[in-house]
Structures are given as structure tokens and as C-alpha cells.
Structure 1
Amino acid sequence: MENLTLFIFLALLAEILGTVGGFGSSLFFVPIASYFLDFYSVLGITALFHVSSNITKIVFFRKGFDKKLVLSIGIPAIGFVIIGGVLSKYIPTQLLEIGLAIFLITISLTLLIFKSLKVKPTIANSIIGGTASGLFAGLLGTGGAIRGITLAAFSLKTEVFIATSAVIDLGIDASRSFVYYFNGYIHKEDLYLIPILLIVSIVGTYIGKQILAKISDKQFKSIVLVLILITGLITLYKII
């Protein structure tokens, strides 16, 4: 890969922002990686990267997770990430990339404009949020923003929020990794990136945890949303 150093730096930045923002690194990593790899390869490498990323988060934020939310969000998310992963094989790459760009722009603008937007903390909404986040994760490689909005409704402590999200995401990524493998998205020539991204996930999560201890979630979430918006606009511009 050309510009490997730049790729590693941007992946590290994605992991830091994903940890602090609570959305997960894929929201940033997928559009970043698409500048270096074809979209289907990005889906495959993102799933593998996220497995190590979520294990790292569970270790760093191991104060506990909400078992009820893991089940009510995680079970439908795992089911629908498999469906999304299978469907991704039959949808043209350009449409998936456009879908990703529109998703990033829409979710960031929605959260920036409607800052008080909250989902009611009900089991029904957690199931709906899990379903949507899983489907988007399977199709586009990222559904963390939807899962983040859903989890935010339950007023969890920061460490519990991140640990719960990571446990759910681990199930999602493990499931879609198998689907992407059978779809042919995981290529032998890209596997050398896995140990590199493992180190990136450890370092990025550690840095993200240190940042969380020093600034308010509200301040950084605004910065993260602006970055998501910019990423979405750049991704859409690249496609057009």
C-alpha cells in the first residue's frame, strides 16, 4: 500500500475519535480507508480491525456493561448485520459509497441541529436501534452512530456506555467478518494490516480514554460531529 504511514496515522485518529465520541472507529475509518482500498476490501478490513478494537475497549473500560441492553440491542443487531452483509454483495459499490456519504452527512447534521435529540429509553426502541445499526453496519461498514444514539437514551455512565457498545459491536463485527469472508471481501494481500491495526486500536483507545478524563463529552461530541460532516462531504465529493 502506498502512503502506509498516512494510513496508520489516520486509522489512529479514527480510533481516538471513535473512542471519545462513543460511535466506534468505523464511522471515521471506513471513509478514510476507502481512499486507500476498494470499498469491499474496506468492509472486510474494517470488520477485522473492529474486532480487535472492541476487545481493547472492553479491556480498558471493564467496569461493567448493561446486560439487558447487550441483549435487546445486540441480538437484532447481529441478525441484521448478517442480512446487510449478504445484501452488500448485490448492491453496486458506487451506490454503497453514496449511501455511506449520505448517512454520514445526515446523521451529523441531525445531531448538530437537534442537540437535544434523544430516543426514549424503551425496549422497543433498543430493538429498533439494534436492527438499524446492524443493517447499516452490514451494508456500509458502520452503524455506530445509530447505536450511540440508542444507548444515549439510557443515561449510562461513560465507561458503562463504551463497554456496552463494545460488547454489542464485537458480536456485530465477529458475525459480519464471516459473511464478508464468504463474500470474498477479505483478501490475503491485506492481512498484513491486521497486526498494525491491532496496535493502532490499543494506542488509540488508550489516548481516547485519557482525553475523556480531561474534557466534557458535550464539547468533544460537537467536534466529532463536525468531523463526521466534513468526512461525509469529502466522501460524496470524491464519488461525484
Structure 2
Amino acid sequence: MTPEDMLSRLLYRDGLMLVVDKPAGLPVHRGPRGGDNLEDHFDALRFGLPRPPALAHRLDRDTSGCLVLGRHRKALERLGKLFRDGRIEKTYWAVVEGAPADDAGEIDMALGRLDSTRGWWMRPDPLGLPAQTHWRALARGQDTEGRDIAFLELKPRTGRTHQLRVHMQAMGWPILGDPVYGHGKREGAPPLHLHARAIVVPIRDGHESVAVTAPVPPHMRGTLDTLGCDETRA
């Protein structure tokens, strides 16, 4: 990724924070095995400040969309508290395999670590941390092979690791292309169809919240077309 590529992904900028459109397939930070990551390219986003911005939260490697960065220490402290207090509203779009019977619903399902050998993999666990997700069906249809799929809007009320992916799997609607919790490892499987569509951040008390939307990534556009969805009206 060139500095120009990084700048082209900037969705919002003010004196405290930035929001960038994270590409699918690129981790947000360097893992134990190294390799390219989004954080390595933040120097292009300094805009005159002495240090590059830093991550205020995380998105999975294969998830695309709105990613919030703090521009300096005080901004990161402010953003961290907003995330911890659940004051930041996050909206995700997902295409799932299966057909929810209802048009909307709430999932209240605690999550815990799968086991110590699986890193951050999670599972439903009544003794785990509380996790809530609101979902709404935006469209239903079939893929090119005749399998039922649905286009969902997901609003996590909590921010547990892999929350949306585990909740969808547990409901019987794994996210299309999920290699861990779905059928994404099968031959010819598409990339993960999970997109951080929008985020609303009350960054300054007494001021209107900052609302940012990320465009649908290329790998999801064809699927939404199959379902007859126009992203501007979904």
C-alpha cells in the first residue's frame, strides 16, 4: 500500500480522530509472524503531527470498513473510554448462509474462549462474558448455486472478540466466506462477507456525534447485486 493508497481510504478527519476504510484481507497490526499490516502505513496520516495516529479499536483481518484511529494520546484515551462505555454505535453488514425465519431480533449469548490452543477463537459459553447483537434482515435470496442466503444489518451492543461471527454461527446462519466459524475453507469459497458499514462517535460532549459510512467492498458488491440490493437504499 502506497501513501496515496492510504490517503484514498480516509473517510473522516478532525483534530482528534480519523476514520479509514480498512480493506479486507489486511490485518490492522503486525502479528507474531510479521507481514504487511495496516498500522505500518499510518505515517501517511500524520497531517503535520509529530507522530502517526494509533488504533482506537480493532477489526478482524478479513473484515472491511470503518476503523477509528486516535491522533494523539488524549484522543486515544477519550476514544478508549467511549468504546468501553458502549457509547459508540457500530453498524455492520453481513451476508449469511441460511434464512432467518424472522425479520429482526436480539441475540443475547455470552461468549468465552474456545480453548487455550486456538488463540482468539470463541464459542458460546453461559459462563463467559455477556454479548448482545441486534440483527435485521435487509434481503433474502439464493446464491448462484441455489443456496439460501440473507443480507443482514448487525448492531453489536457489546464488543466481544469475533462476536458477530460466533453469534451468526450459533443461530445457524454462518457468515458467507467465514473460514473459522462457517464454510469459508471449502474450495471456491468467497472472502468473508462482513463489513463495518457505519460508525457514530460522540467524540465531543455537547456537540453532534460524528457519523461515518464506508462503501461496500468489491467482494461483496456482486453478492448484493444477486440479492437485488442497492447499497444506497439498503
Please indicate the TM-score interval, normalised by the length of the shorter structure: under 0.3
In terms of fraction of residues, the more strand-rich structure is 2
Calculate the TM-score normalised by the size of structure 1: 0.25
Q: Flag the structure with more relative contact order, 1 or 2, with Cα contacts below 8 A and sequence separation at least 6.
A: 1
In terms of fraction of residues, the more helix-rich structure is 1
Which is higher, the Rg of structure 1 or of structure 2? 2
